[in-house]
Amino acid sequence: MYIKQEEYLPLAKDLIASFSRDLLLFAEEDHNYTQAYKDAFQSKITEVEQKEASNTALVQQKQATQALYLLGEDLKKPLKSLRIRIERAGIPTNLTTQILTDIKKRNFEGVGSKLTDLISLVNAHLTVLQDKGMKSTIPQDLQNFQLAIAAKADEQTQFMKKVAGIIGTQKELYDGLYKYISEICEDGKLIFEGQQKADEYIIKKMLAKLHVDKVKSGEGKEIGGA
């Protein structure tokens, strides 16, 4: 399962909370899961956290990424409303669905390019869409979202370039953290197989929860009143 660099630390923090609670059950499965193992995992988390906190470019990259996620979440509702008007108008397109899929996949390059096509489509069918209940502000709202996403994506890219060189020298550090994550998740899935608790050790589900939690904890909005 691919884990983005900025996801390692929050993923590890969530995991160690579950692992600490279930340590005795892990020890029954494998005698190597000791208090010393847990302490070493915590030390690795702390080491990565301190490295990231001292990396200004990485902090800024994370902020830009979070802002993109929030923009995507804010865009969902007007897109869903517009999709209903488009369907009622009988306009043959699935652009809104494609953009919603790109938002879910965090593909903001795709979101930006498809918004261009969607804006053109809306302007070409303005009268019929408004007759079907589309808000008159939608064309401008979409334009505002497109500009904001493009600007924030460019900002994120610039920070990522700065971070890339630094992260390359710290690969061993993240590899060490991943070793703990992969081992614990592999056994956790087995120990709690068939139970709801197993979700706490399935990386794909942990990442999905992490994305939701990030959006819920986000502050402010990039597009006022959108």
* Domain spans of the chain, in order of start: 5-217
- The pair phi, psi for residue 90, each rounded to 5°, is 70, 25
Nearest to 6 by CA among 133, 118, 174: 174
Nearest to 129 by CA among 81, 57, 193: 81
At 221, is the pLDDT very low, low, confident or very high (cuts 50, 70, 90)?
Answer: very low
- Condensed to tens digits (0 to 9), the pLDDT of residues 186-212 reads 999 999 999 999 999 999 999 988 877
Residue that is written with structure tokens 């060490």 in the block: 176
pLDDT at 214 over 80: no
Please write down the long-range contacts of 177-186, taking CB distance under 8 Å and 24 or more positions apart. 177/8, 177/9, 177/12, 177/44, 177/45, 177/48, 178/3, 178/8, 180/12, 180/15, 180/40, 180/41, 180/44, 181/3, 181/8, 181/11, 181/12, 181/15, 184/15, 184/19, 184/26, 184/41, 185/15
Tell me the C-alpha distance between 32 and 39, whole Å. 13
> pTM above 0.75?
no
| Tokens (6 digits) for 137 | 């502000």
Tell me the C-alpha distance between 105 and 9, whole Å. 20
pLDDT at 225 over 50: no
